[in-house]
Amino acid sequence: MKRILLPLLILLSLTAKGQSDSVTFAGALWGSKTVSQGIEHKWTHFASGELFSSNQYISVIEIKPGTGNKIEIFASPVLKETSLMASEAGAVAAINGSFFKFNYTHNTEDYNSVDYIRKDNRQLAPNTVTGNQRAMHQLGAIAIFNDQLFILKADELKEWEKYIQAQEVITTGPILRVEDRDLKLEKSSFYTARHPRTAVGKKSDGTVILLTADGRSTQAAGLSLTELQKIMKWLGARYAINLDGGGSTTMYVAGGSDNGVVNHPSDNKLFDNMGQRKVANAILVHKAK
């Protein structure tokens, strides 16, 4: 009897904890600022270890459909801070993009990217593939077709990203949610360890969610991909995909701070807005003209 009861009690305890986390998240107090019509910046800080038994700082940008605002996949020929890419391009909001060659600092033919990038119907970078095995960050994509953002899951075609019908494409991953369903995630350390995370989601009504979760700090532990998946679900994302995280995780809102950074990038090991990493690409948001 004891052998049966113990696993059952553990399962019930984990279920109760999961329900508690969802209730905690639903009851969070969010700061909110209208960036432009149809673009909202929100943030919340779980500072007492109450979410996933940890401290967490979550920042969200929501872009409503039908408001004329535009989302752009932006690639820089040289590594550059997300805030600088955004401000130079006249964007009102941004997050860091997909994965890249960290040690490269000069112009390259593939924009320092290890993932496929298409811009204005022109390929800027291919997927860098070792052998026949795609990296986990090449199993999904963000595509922009006629100013609408889509989150796509890779199919069995060898170079499936080249067949996506969209003016702008960037591969990334892993993909977290498709058609309101959580996808199964691996058990490797990249998935299970807590890190700063960046993600994009899309709701049923077409609202696009840009999210950063800070980490590597006593004030913010960071998220596993399962925890990120849960948060995207709780935010109402029907589709969701992971972007580059760790020291790259950055959110920019024009006028949101002295340099526009509104989260706490971790590369300077301080819980402030000054620890940005230079990255290769970003997701930019432009207000309606």
DSSP 186: -
Q: What is 193-249 written as a DSSP string?
A: S-B-EEEEEEETTS-EEEEEE--SSSS---B-HHHHHHHHHHTTEEEEEE---GGG-
Q: Are 118 and 131 in contact (CB under 8 A)?
A: no
How does pLDDT run along the chain (289 residues), one tens digit per residue? 445 555 544 444 545 566 899 999 999 999 999 999 999 999 999 999 999 999 999 999 999 999 999 999 999 999 999 999 999 999 999 999 999 987 755 667 799 999 999 999 999 999 988 777 788 899 999 999 999 999 999 987 888 999 999 999 999 999 999 999 999 999 999 999 999 999 999 999 999 999 999 999 999 999 999 999 999 999 999 999 999 999 999 999 999 999 999 999 999 999 999 999 999 999 999 999 8
- DSSP for 9-28? HHHHHHHHHHHHHHHHHHT-
Domain limits of the chain?
A: 30-286
Rounded-to-integer distance, Cα 285 and Cα 70, Å: 6
CB 59 within 8 Å of CB 40: no
Residues 197 and 223 sit within 8 Å (Cβ to Cβ): yes
If we measure between CA atoms, which residue out of 162, 152, 263 comes closest to residue 210? 263
Q: Where are the alpha helices (DSSP H) in 45-188?
A: 82-89
Write down the pTM of the prediction: 0.93
Distance, in Å, from the CA atom of 286 to the CA atom of 14, rounded to the nearest integer, reads 42
